[in-house]
Amino acid sequence: MLDGKRIILGISGGIAAYKAAILVRLLVKAGAEVRVVMTPFAKNFITPLTLSTLSKNSVLSEFYKADSGDWNSHVDLGLWADAFVIAPATANTMAKAAHAVADNLLITTYLSARCPVFFAPAMDLDMFRHPAVCHNIELLKSRGNHIIDAETGELASGLDGKGRMAEPETIVQTLSEFFNPKQTLNAKVLLTAGPTYEAIDPVRFIGNRSSGKMGYAIAEALAECGAHVTIVSGPVSVSVKNQKIKVIRVESAQEMFEASAKIFPNCDIAVFTAAVADYSPQFPANQKIKKSEQSLNLVLKKNPDIAAELGKLKSDTQISVGFALETENEIENAKSKISSKNFDFIVLNSLNDAGAGFGTDTNKVKIIDKHNTILDIELKSKQELAQDIVDVLCEHFNRQK
């Protein structure tokens, strides 16, 4: 999330300073290198030792080291950083920042910093809505500083209102979104997901172990980027969180094919994540089959290949993505599916990799495009992987537009 990012955490003197320990830990966990600068008063709320231990860097607070006379260079620190987060930002510190009152190292570092600056205000509710504070916040904003808005809730004074510092998780999330901006995808997307059930009789079916988790995670990530998503879904227990996603429920491959064929002509992107049964019983019984002979033969007929059939109708501007689960000759088989089904990309997962495939919450894949470029993605959660797949799609779609 913040891999290799160099972040200065400025801590000013408010009770929310106690949360700085968690903030440092989360920043370091997200991959950032953290250096802490604190106002002298902030040391009353949290010790430099706690912060230097967590950040693995010494904490700066004074202009110079009293014993050696060495100067702490706010200029070097300001130039070193990719981002400067001031959390908590008290009314006093924001006022000094807005008016260049450079009487401590935090403010001189702020005035020297060339990187983006984020203020996470924290104070009591009446202070927070005071016109002087509001004016300073507006002043800071108008100069391009980012404000991570305070939250509403119980305050240290015992009063209830707006003024609580944003939670450390929210601050890390804000930084992460700043450094990894989400792409937008103004597209209509058809996505097939889950297994199909092929009836043997009214109570039995041929199915498979697909959970639909990967497909639904991709649908969520697509919708998050602004795409209009319709899932044609086989029977699954997962459900959508984003209510803008339309879900059409089907059971058999034939039903999935018919529903998808109606949507496909009007979509910009089709993502075929469903584990469609290749065959179904040719003569499903109308009544429950009774046990009689020692063996039972079922005649199976081939189901429509949804991706291949729709691939034949695909226009030059439509993009389609397939999924393949292979156990041998993985890359060769995946590549041949790209051409036989007219895919632009195929996402290949291998059952040979631990943690990958059906039912698990993680997956490990390769994304292969029609020019045979292979992108190897390490084992990650299906949500994270969905985002990677959607990033590739966004890039391709937005480049093509």
What is the contact surface with ligand CTP in residues (CB under 6 A)?
A: 192, 253, 272, 274, 276, 278, 303, 305-307, 322-325, 337, 341
Instruction: Name which of 239 and 329 has its Cβ closer to ligand CTP.
Output: 329
Instruction: Name which of 34 and 390 has its Cβ closer to ligand CTP.
Output: 390
Instruction: Name which of 69 and 359 has its Cβ closer to ligand CTP.
Output: 359
Residue position matching structure tokens 């305050």: 155
Q: Cβ of residue 360: shortest distance to ligand CTP, in angstroms?
A: 18
Q: Cβ of residue 275: shortest distance to ligand CTP, in angstroms?
A: 7
Whether the CB-CB separation of 276 and 261 falls below 8 Å is answered with no
Q: Cβ of residue 369: shortest distance to ligand CTP, in angstroms?
A: 15
Specify which residues 300 forms β-bridges with.
281
Quick one: angle between helices 213-224 and 382-400, nearest 10? 50
Given 72, 92, 208, 333, the catalytic residue: 208
How far apart are the C-alpha atoms of 191 and 307, rounded to whole Å?
A: 11
Judge whether 208 counts as a catalytic residue.
Answer: yes
Q: Cβ of residue 323: shortest distance to ligand CTP, in angstroms?
A: 4
The tokens of 47 are what?
């010790």
Q: Cβ of residue 341: shortest distance to ligand CTP, in angstroms?
A: 6
Of 188, 195, 186, 196, nearest to 214 (Cα)?
195
The tokens of 291 are what?
């046990």
Q: Long-range CB contacts (< 8 A, 24+ apart) of 337-340?
A: 338/368, 338/369, 338/370, 339/370, 340/308
Of 395, 365, 369, nearest to 380 (Cα)?
365
Instruction: Name which of 309 and 391 has its Cβ closer to ligand CTP.
Output: 309
How far apart are the C-alpha atoms of 206 and 216, rounded to whole Å?
A: 22
In the chain, the amino acid numbered 264 is F
Instruction: Name which of 139 and 247 has its Cβ closer to ligand CTP.
Output: 247
Residues designated catalytic: 208
